[in-house]
Structure 1
Amino acid sequence: MVLFEVDELVKDLEKAELEAENCIATPEIYSQLLAVYLYQNEFVKSSCSELSQIWIVGQRMWQRDWTAVHTALNNEWSEQVANIMLALKENVRERAMSLISEAYSSVNLTVLASMTGLSLDESRQIVLDHGWTIDDTTVLPCKVDKDLPSRDALTEDQLNKLTQFVSFLEN
């Protein structure tokens, strides 16, 4: 592909991105744009260090390197993105806690701390806040069954329908 063709392709794709319905381009457009940016060695505009830092957070999340994600998130962010990055940090921490509760019957406190980006003392506190058991350095997470209320509601709904059906048959 000639350099001129790549430049034209970038212009066309960026225009398509801006003119997309509801300002949301298709995955195909984003895939092509990302591929072309990689070709041009322009992953992130290097003139903007904050954009580079956000890109690093995304890369670490993609790699599922949670310790590195938290390290990358512990950054001084501008006023424009500080709240978003704080919310992301909390979201990543909650997802890690959810993963731990689902996947582990026991986990070392140090591992939990690295997965959540917390100190050992903060990790102890969050373990207690979640109602989990901790024995020195071993955490015994409790799996939270989030489906229980919906199952009860479904059972009540089914019982109501069954009652109506039986009542209809009797009359």
Structure 2
Amino acid sequence: MDFTPLTEALSSKSYDKISDICDELMLKFAAEGIPFQDEWPYQIHLLGHIYVNDINSARFLWKSIPSAIKESQPEVAAAWRIGQRLWTRDYAGVYEAIRGFDWSQETRVLVAAFSEVYTKRMFQLLLSAYSTISIEDTARFLGMNEDDAANYVLQQGWTVDPASRMLTVKKQLIVTEQKLDSSKLQRLTEYVFHLEH
């Protein structure tokens, strides 16, 4: 079996392409009648779907994995634990699942990349959902201890009230598009018409 496209994606850190590559390879091997189940990198495939936040596909992949593999390959089960926590929106549990397994070298890099992306997603969630939030809750959402979480958000411009241990969220400026006035639109239309004729 040729896993070259997958190996190249991993080595070039193109983690957002892994799930598609794995899906295509799996279909190709199945169409060619190549037995691949025992050698398939299910943990990478699951983590590829998890990385791009495609939990439904990860769930369906998990259901299709033979029971013998789920039982004999603990890293596959560990990858799915991350997916389970995402599925149930157990934000702190995602970080526990990430830290709760001694990942192989090949998988460790992908898990670390997912952890970083996930922290950024959680930060964006906090940014859009809260105007104030406790340091404790922020730490839970970001998978950090309270000091690290406070430092992380303070670097993003948030402020802290030491007495109440509450953070005030600094909303990002929303860039509005400049509207085109009708005279400019008319001139543009005439220009394009002139070019075409």
Identify the TM-score tier after normalising by the shorter chain: 0.5 to 0.7
- Asked if the contact 2:127–2:169 (Cα under 8 Å) also holds between the matched residues in 1, the reply is yes
Q: Which residue of 1 aligns with 2:170?
A: 142
CA distance 1:119–1:50, change in 2 (3 Å): same
Q: Which runs of 5+ in 1 are unaligned?
A: 1-13, 21-28
Q: Which residue of 1 aligns with 2:80?
A: 55
CA distance 1:44–1:112, change in 2 (3 Å): farther
Q: Distance in 1 between matches of 2:91 and 2:59?
A: 25
Give how far 1:138 is off.
0.2
Q: One-letter code of the match for 1:88?
A: F
2:131 counterpart of 1:105 = yes
Give how far 1:60 is off.
0.4
Identity across matched positions, percent: 23
Q: One-letter code of the match for 2:171?
A: K
Q: Which residue of 2 aligns with 1:163?
A: 184
Aligned length: 137
Note the alpha carbon deviations across 1:91-113, whole angstroms, 9 max, x for none. Answer: 11111111111001110100100
RMSD: 3.1
- Report the TM-score when normalising by structure 1: 0.67
Larger Rg: 1
Q: Which residue of 2 aligns with 1:65?
A: 90
CA distance 1:44–1:89, change in 2 (3 Å): farther
Equivalent positions of 1:18-167 (< 5 A) are 18-19=30-31, 42=67, 45-74=70-99, 75-136=101-162, 137-145=165-173, 147-148=174-175, 151-152=176-177, 154-155=178-179, 158-159=180-181, 162-163=183-184, 165=186
Q: Which runs of 5+ in 2 are unaligned?
A: 1-25, 33-56, 191-197
- Report the TM-score when normalising by structure 2: 0.59
Q: Distance in 2 between matches of 1:71 and 1:165?
A: 58
CA distance 1:44–1:122, change in 2 (3 Å): farther
3-state DSSP of counterpart to 1:139: strand
